[in-house]
């Protein structure tokens, strides 16, 4: 049953993060394309392993814990992982016909990264258990998603920029996520090296390294959210400009009356010269004024500044409750399916499962969706 818990806890965070980034896009991307990009992100695990495998022998030749941590963080993790995720976003996603605006880069970048993170998380929790799954659900998996969104931001900019400006943007798309990924992993892998050598770090080094990882994760979060907000703001601005152009009524056409005929003068008779009055022109009829066409306004889009702390609170707490509730619900169902109920009455197990599983799952999903709506 524990492997089932671990597997679900490895997948649920990725699903929730995918829903978040997809909801940020005004023009939603097709589900089929997102699934393809997600699948390609999963497949990047294969070339990453092929690149990392020969580097393990190099790592074994290092002695200093900080050198080992830095080499592991950048050479065997950040550089190969971000490079192959970049190939998916740039060489596949950005060339797809559905990639038609810069915001798409954020969505596809996060999707490709979450594909990789999901399989990586399953491999981790399969060998290290449920505690690792829960920890990574709120650290490593969001870190991958934020790094992917940052990468996608620069890819989206590069895709719709002149060729002369693409080089710097593509370099940033690869360098910034790689640097952040390495800075996140470096403290953790350094601590892992100390633990493997059965030595205690000096003084407050443990706290400093842990704070370094958490600070990097928070920075990634803030930076990714700001870039995503900027892209969405540009989308909203374009939609508002287009709707304003459609809604402005065109000037009503003016009706020009036909020119009046010049009066003709009859020549006077020889007897008494009399002048015939000129014939009166037929009165011109003005057409009725045409009513301006009514234009239905587009659906209201909230400004990207209309979100607040409450939206993020709902998102985070909802994700936590949904994850825990989903684990509990699945555990109860798995116990019933396999008959591993022991001496517990089935009706009591169902009631308990509803209280500790189904209710937190439903309430957590409601909070998460409410948070999405407040942040969209």
What is the average pLDDT across 112-134? Answer: 80
Comparing C-alpha atoms, which of 119, 96, 181 is closest to residue 146?
181
- Containing 30, the helix (H) or strand (E) segment is none
The pLDDT score that the predictor gives to residue 364 is: 78
Query: What span, in angstroms and rounded, lies between the C-alpha atoms of 157 and 265?
Result: 77
**Least confident window among 83-97, 204-218, 245-259, 309-323:** 245-259
C-beta separation of 298 from 241 below 8 A: no
Mean pLDDT computed over every residue of the chain: 82
C-beta separation of 149 from 26 below 8 A: no
The pLDDT score that the predictor gives to residue 267 is: 59
pLDDT digits (tens, 9 = 90+) for 290-331: 655 554 444 444 444 445 678 778 877 877 777 777 767 766
What is the average pLDDT across 273-285? Answer: 57
pLDDT digits (tens, 9 = 90+) for 242-277: 878 787 655 445 555 556 655 555 655 565 555 565
pLDDT top residue among 146 and 278: 146
HEC string for 338-368: HCCCCCCCHHHHHHHHHHHHHHHHHHHHHHH
pLDDT top residue among 132 and 304: 132
């Amino acid at each position: 049953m524990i492997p089932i818990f671990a597997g679900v806890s490895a997948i649920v965070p990725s699903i929730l993060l995918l829903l978040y980034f997809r909801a940020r896009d005004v023009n939603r991307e097709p589900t089929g394309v997102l699934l393809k990009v997600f699948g390609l992100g999963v497949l990047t695990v294969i070339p990453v392993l092929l690149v990392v495998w020969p580097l393990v022998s190099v790592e074994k030749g290092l002695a200093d814990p900080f050198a080992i941590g830095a080499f592991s963080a950048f050479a065997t993790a950040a550089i190969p992982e971000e490079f192959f995720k970049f190939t998916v976003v740039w060489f596949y996603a950005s060339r797809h016909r559905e990639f038609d605006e810069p915001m798409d880069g954020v969505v596809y970048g996060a999707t490709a990264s979450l594909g990789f993170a999901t399989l990586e998380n399953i491999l981790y929790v399969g060998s290290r258990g449920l505690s690792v799954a829960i920890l990574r659900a709120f650290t490593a998996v969001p870190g991958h998603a934020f790094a992917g969104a940052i990468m996608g931001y620069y890819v989206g900019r590069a895709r719709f920029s002149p060729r002369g400006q693409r080089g710097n943007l593509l370099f940033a798309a690869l360098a910034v996520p790689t640097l952040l990924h390495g800075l996140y992993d470096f403290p953790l892998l350094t601590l892992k090296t100390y633990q493997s050598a059965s030595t205690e770090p000096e003084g407050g080094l443990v706290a400093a390294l842990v704070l370094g990882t958490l600070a990097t994760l928070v920075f990634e979060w803030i930076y990714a959210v700001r870039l995503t907000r900027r892209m969405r703001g540009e989308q909203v601005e374009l939609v508002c400009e287009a709707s304003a152009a459609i809604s402005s009524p065109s000037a009503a056409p003016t009706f020009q009356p036909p020119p009046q005929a010049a009066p003709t003068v009859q020549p006077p008779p020889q007897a008494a010269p009399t002048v015939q009055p000129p014939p009166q022109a037929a009165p011109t009829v003005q057409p009725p004024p045409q009513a301006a066409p009514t234009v239905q306004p587009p659906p209201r889009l909230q400004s990207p500044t209309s979100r607040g702390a409450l939206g993020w609170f709902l998102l985070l707490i909802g994700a936590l409750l949904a994850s825990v509730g989903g684990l509990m619900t699945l555990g109860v169902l798995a116990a019933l399916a396999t008959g591993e109920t022991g001496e517990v009455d089935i009706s009591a197990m169902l009631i308990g499962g509803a209280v500790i599983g189904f209710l937190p799952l439903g309430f957590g999903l409601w909070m998460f969706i409410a948070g999405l709506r407040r942040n969209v």
